[in-house]
Amino acid sequence: MAQVEATTERVIAARAEDVFDALADYADTRRKLLPGNFSEYEVRAGGDGEGTLVHWRLQATEKRVRDCLLEVTEPVDGQLVEKDRNSSMVTTWVVTPAGEGRSKAVVTSVWNGAGGIGGFFERKFAPKGLAAIYDQILAKLAEETEGKPSGDASA
């Protein structure tokens, strides 16, 4: 089994702290950021960053649906790590300053891919598909945070 990785990033015209706070708000904001590929969203514990346990179903393709139960940690400032209890997938969100009033958000998911011919196709196509889904999330994150009063990403 080879490890599969999908990464995408976006520069957002909002302070890194505000972008991170919006991203870490699983109780409210995160639900708004998810495109139609996600269903059955439910916060089961916590709701704000570290200690959150959140469930959703991710329909990556017409036939591929992942049932995800994610434990959220914040190993360092500006970083959220979502570890799926139901698979080997780990998704890391990193938000850093990118100049005056701007930030860069990077999301990377890694998981153990399948073997054989199925694994070949997974390694070839899954990263692009997942990156496209993450692009949608980051676009909605930008809409949610750009132009908001500093320190109040939920306003």
Residues 60, 29, 105, CA angle at the centre, nearest 5°? Answer: 70
Residue 9 · residue 120 · CB < 8 Å: no
- Residue by residue, pLDDT tens for the chain (155 residues) are 578 888 999 999 999 999 999 999 999 999 999 999 999 999 999 999 999 999 999 987 777 788 999 999 999 999 999 999 999 999 999 999 999 999 999 999 988 766 666 665 666 667 787 889 999 999 999 999 998 766 544 44
Stated pTM of the model: 0.87
- Across-strand partners of 65? 59
